[in-house]
């Protein structure tokens, strides 16, 4: 017989198809888990931004996303909330390994994303890891195998993939590239291609940047399946 949690999850998922972004005024209007809603509330987040509404609506059902919205528009939560929700619905546990990988171009951005995840995701039981170098590789390596959500920079991630035979992404479900255009600008393109070659083909991929550039589309072609393009220009 289904557990009450699996029944709850089924009910939640049945609402995904019917999200009307026009009618969403607060996070509580979205079909999100109580754990995520509590985390958002405690962080003082009440109303989703445009990019958050559009991305949450489309990504909860597993679609690939190519999202563009200006700096400061709230792209971090636009991908962290779907990560938490997708892993929650899959009832992900520590035994399932890495479920989501977030790649961002700089250590500072990785650290900010990690901190936001810790705050908003506080009531979930997932373990999160920050893989940015600066710590010794062995220390990171031992931690990494137990992480459900990994936030990393491209170079350090590839180093782990190359040097750590135990590093295992076979179960990985969600790949996020934050500031995808900057990853390319900074000369990470080959590193990114090598990383993507190491990841399971069957996954959800979400790319975010401030502008939709040609090079982001190139990368999209490498890794996204029939993506939904979300472009938000907020006027004040």
Contact positions vs Mg ion (CB under 5 A): 75
Q: Which stretch binds ligand ADP (CB under 6 A): 55-63, 66-74, 96-104, 138-146?
A: 66-74
Window 72-91: residues binding ligand ADP (CB under 6 A)? 72-77
130 touches, from Mg ion, ligand ADP, none (C-beta below 5 to 8 Å by class): none
What SS3 class is residue 73? Answer: coil
CB burial string 31-65: b at 16+ within 10 A, e below = bbbebbbebbeeeebeebbbbbbbbbbbbbeebbb
Q: Stretches 5-13, 65-73, 89-97, 185-193: which one binds ligand ADP (CB under 6 A)?
A: 65-73
Select from ligand ADP, Mg ion, none the partner in contact with residue 207, using the beta carbon and a kind-dependent cut-off of 5 to 8 Å. none
Size of the residue set binding ligand ADP (CB under 6 A): 13
Restricted to residues 203-232, the positions that interact with ligand ADP (CB under 6 A) are: none
Residue span binding ligand ADP (CB under 6 A) among the ranges 44-52, 144-152, 155-163, 165-173: 44-52
CB of 7 to Mg ion, least distance (A): 36
HEC string of the chain?
CCCHHHHHHHHHHHCHHHCCHHHCCCHHHCCCCHHHHHHHHHCCCCCCCHHHHHHHHHHCCCCCEEEEECCCCCHHHHHHHHHHHHHHHCCCCHHHCCCEEEECCCHHHHHHHHHHHHHHCCCCCCCEEEECCCCCHHHHHHHHCCCCEEEECHHHHHHHHHHCCCCCCCCCCEEEECCHHHHHHCCCHHHHHHHHHCCCCCCEEEEEECCCCHHHHHHHHHHCCCCEEEEECCCC
Closest approach, Cβ 58 to ligand ADP, in A, equals 17
> Among ligand ADP, Mg ion, none, what binds residue 74 when CB lies within 5 to 8 Å by partner kind?
ligand ADP
Q: Which residues pair with 114 in a beta bridge?
A: none
Is the CB of 108 or the CB of 162 nearer to ligand ADP?
A: 108
**Whole-number minimum distance, CB 210 to Mg ion, in Å?**
8
Among the residue ranges 12-20, 47-55, 85-93, 138-146, the one whose residues contact ligand ADP (CB under 6 A): 47-55
Minimal distance in Å, beta carbon 214 to Mg ion?
21
Minimum Å gap between C-beta 5 and Mg ion is: 32
Using CB under 6 A as the criterion, which residues of the chain lie in contact with ligand ADP when the complex forms? 45, 47-49, 52, 69, 71-77
């Amino acid at each position: 017989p289904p557990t009450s949690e699996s029944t709850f999850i089924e009910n939640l998922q049945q609402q995904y198809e019917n999200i009307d972004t026009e009618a969403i005024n607060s996070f509580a209007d979205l079909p999100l888990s109580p754990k995520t809603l509590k985390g958002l509330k405690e962080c003082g987040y009440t109303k989703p931004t445009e990019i958050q509404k559009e991305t949450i609506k489309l990504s909860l059902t597993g679609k690939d996303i190519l999202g563009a919205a200006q700096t400061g528009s709230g792209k971090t939560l636009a991908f962290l909330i779907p990560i938490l929700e997708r892993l929650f619905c899959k009832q992900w546990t520590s035994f399932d390994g890495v479920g989501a990988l977030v790649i961002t171009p700089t250590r500072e951005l990785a650290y900010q994303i990690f901190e936001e995840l810790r705050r908003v995701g506080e009531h979930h039981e997932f373990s999160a890891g920050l893989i940015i170098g600066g710590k010794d590789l062995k220390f990171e390596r031992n931690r990494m195998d137990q992480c459900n959500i990994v936030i990393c920079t491209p170079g350090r991630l590839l180093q782990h993939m190359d040097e750590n035979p135990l590093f295992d992404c076979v179960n990985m479900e969600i790949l996020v590239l934050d500031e995808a255009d900057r990853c390319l600008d900074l000369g990470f393109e080959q590193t990114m291609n090598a990383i993507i070659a190491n990841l399971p083909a069957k996954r959800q991929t979400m790319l975010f940047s401030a502008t939709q550039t040609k090079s982001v589309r190139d990368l999209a072609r490498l890794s996204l399946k029939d993506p939904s393009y979300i472009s938000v220009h907020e006027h004040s």
